[in-house]
Structure formats: structure tokens, C-alpha cells
Amino acid sequence: MTTRVVLAMSGGVDSSAAAQILLEQGYEVVGLFMRSGETEEETCAVESGSVLPVINTASHKQGCCSASDAADARRVADRLDIPFHAINFEKGFDRIKDYFADEYIAGRTPNPCVMCNNWLKFGKLWDFAQQVGAEKIATGHYAQIKPIDTINQLGDNYSAEKQQGENELGLFRGVDPGKDQSYVLFGIDPDLLKNILFPVGSYQKSEIRELARKTGLRVADKPDSQEICFIPDNDYVGFLKRYRGEQETAGELVDTAGAVLGHHNGYEKFTIGQRRGLGIAFGEPRYVVEINPDNRRVVIGLKDDLACGQLLANRLNFLVKPDKTCFNADTKIRYRHTASPAQIELMDNDEMKVTFETPQNGVAPGQAVVLYNGDRVLGGGWIDSGNHFNV
């Protein structure tokens, strides 16, 4: 019997090529486009339990996950002759918008892509799959899920004795190092790994574009999206004002000793490690090293002040649970960060301390810290604190 797979289709080249790869592998593919806001009546909400094909993707309301993207996804589905649905996930996206706005107002740097994966793409997507009788879900992420040799691939940090002989699955980096997206997938429910497929993860990006061209897909040369889907103009400050209204966020720019250097008109406009747009000219490069929402101060320092030897993280999720409370791992503190060796200490209250072998620059509260053993994702958590200058 053919295995049915629900594929999240964004209208981009990766998920479109994923559909073709799944078909070639013999799966029965059902395409699903996730809308982020209220749309036409023909688009339904997954909470209702009803599933209807999208009738019209030409019209567009503010807040939709691009009507043009929906149209591209629909054309790909038509080309490949697979069923296509568009579902209104407005409630789910509202939760992500709330998180995004709340984090910035709290002086933190949010990562909505990770939350979208946790709550929607591998949450609501799986709910939808079960409604339509699918056994698998798939996305266009550049990552891999593979069987592992638990003895050889877990390393000395884990006890493999009880797992010997098991056909365990693990989450691994994508083959293309420039496109690898395993970092944003650390929050997946480990019990769901057996139901997930990443068809493009074993390909280079150039190979995916070439496959799309050979298949005759119009999206073969479509640029990769660089925007947050619910902020299509990339103006997150404007989004915060529209979504949360005017907030009292103006305050002082200070150095690491607390001396006032100047003033800013909103701490939400700054991120840890930022160098440009500080509003003050210095004789040497200066960086944002801390944001304090309590007194609305933005702390400016030298590059050395960015260096962080330790961080604390909470809200942990492990795809393979360590058997030790202290162990070593490679760590990434942001999506484009080069993994750095560190010692991990698991603590009470669902927290962990990460001590880097070499201090790392730009540790930003609100971002994820993800742990690796080679190419395998072990798990991760959310950075709660790094440097503190108490100013």
C-alpha cells in the first residue's frame, strides 16, 4: 500500500522539488499551503476539522502568507498532479506573532522560525496529516533524518548499552553546509521523527534547482525568501507598533560602566552584536552588548565586551537524552554561527549551563543554543542570559 505524505508547500523551489522527489520515491503526496491570516471563504481552518481545496489564490489580504506564494504552490501541485489544500492557520500564527512581539518588548531577540517549526510545521501539520489519513509529513528543510549506529554515533557522552541493536532515528545536518537548517529544527518532538521526511536534505541547493528545471517547475529560479512570513516588508519595528501599539521604550545609551553616551528612541531597534545604526560616532568600532528593558538602557561596548564564556538556557528539548549531567558538545548560538565546542551541565528546573572552550561573541537572550555531536543534533534550549553588566 502506498504511503501518504502531507508536504508543506510554500511556493518556493525547495518544497516544490521535495514534491517531485517524494513522487519519484513512490509516495502519495498531498500538498498543503499554510496561510498566516484570514483569507477567502474557500480557505478553511484546521481547528474546524474540515479540509477543503483552495478555490482562488488570486486575491490577497494583509497578513496572508503571500498570495503569490500560494499561487506558485498551487501551480506546482497542478503540474505534478497532486492534491493541494490551503489551510488558514491564523490562530497558530497569532501565537507566533504574540511571542515575537513579547520577546522584543522584553529586550530579547526572538527566533520565529524555530517557534513556527515547533508549533505549526511539526504540530498543526501533523494534526492535518492525521485528518487525511497520512502516515508521514514532509517539508523542504535542508536537514536529514537517518538511522544511526547508536554505539558509534552517540559518543562517550551517552550510554549505548541499553540502546544496542535498536534502529534509532536521528536528526542530522543537511548535506549542503551553506543551506543546512538543522539548527531551527531542534525543538521537534523526538517521538515524531519517525513520521517526518526531509526530501531535499541529501542534496546540494544547486542540485535542487536543476531538478526543478528538469521537472518544468516555474519556481526553479525563484529567489529564497529572506523575510519573516508575517512581516513581508521586513519592517519589524513597524509591525511591533501596529501589533502592540506605542510602547515607552526610549532611553539611554550607556557604556559598560553605566556612563551615559547618548539617547535612543526605542530599545527594540537594537540587537546584541549590532554595530551599525547606533546613532553615535565613536573613534573605534562599538557594539550593542546588552539590552535592559527594565530601565530601557542599551549598553554599548568594545568587541571584547561581546565575548561570553558561559550562558544559561532553559526550555530544553533533547532529541536524544543524555545519560550524564555533564558532557561535551558542539554548540551553535544562532543560525549562521559556526559550531563551537563547549561543556554542557544539566541543571534543575529544566536549565543547562553552557561553558565555551573559547568565549563566543554575540550571545543573545531569546535565541536558541543547539547542541551537536558531529553532524547529529542532540537538542537545545533557549538562551536566558549571557553577559551582565548590571547597568
User: Domain holding 87: CATH number?
Assistant: 3.40.50.620
pLDDT at 386: 63
Same domain, 256 and 350: no
Annotated catalytic residue: which of 113, 116, 308, 326? 116
Beta bridge partners of 300: 255, 288
Contact between 148 and 207 (Cβ < 8 Å):
no
Positions in the chain short of pLDDT 50: 38-64, 150-154, 159-166
322: helix, strand or coil? coil
Side chain identity at residue 43, one-letter code: T
Of 262, 277, 301, which residue is a domain's last? 301
Q: Cell numbers at residue 167, please?
A: 534502529
Same domain, 367 and 335: yes
Annotated catalytic residue: which of 113, 229, 308, 326? 229
Q: What is the CATH number of the domain that holds 339?
A: 2.40.30.10
The reply to whether 279 falls in a domain is: yes
> How far is residue 120 from each of residues 115, 171, 323, 336, 390, measured CA to CA in Å?
8, 18, 30, 23, 37
Of 260, 282, 301, which residue is a domain's last? 301
Same domain, 45 and 20: yes
The reply to whether 35 falls in a domain is: yes
Whole-number mean pLDDT of the chain? 86
Q: Which of 381, 367, 386 is nearest to 109 (CA)?
A: 367
> How far is residue 375 from each of residues 10, 52, 122, 173, measured CA to CA in Å?
27, 40, 21, 5
Task: Supply the pTM of this predicted model.
Answer: 0.86
The reply to whether 240 falls in a domain is: no
Contact between 196 and 146 (Cβ < 8 Å):
no
Same domain, 49 and 71: yes
Same domain, 138 and 49: yes
pLDDT at 157: 52
Domain count for the chain:
3
Same domain, 201 and 76: yes
Same domain, 318 and 333: yes
What DSSP state is assigned to residue 2? P
pLDDT at 387: 56
Q: Which of 268, 300, 299, 266 is nearest to 286 (CA)?
A: 300
Residue 116 is among the residues annotated as catalytic for this protein: yes
Same domain, 121 and 186: yes
Query: Can you give the residue range of the structural domain that contains 276?
Result: 248-301
pLDDT at 50: 37
pLDDT at 48: 34
Q: What is the CATH number of the domain that holds 288?
A: 2.30.30.280
Q: Cell numbers at residue 182, please?
A: 538543522
Same domain, 190 and 60: yes
Residue 229 is among the residues annotated as catalytic for this protein: yes
pLDDT at 243: 84
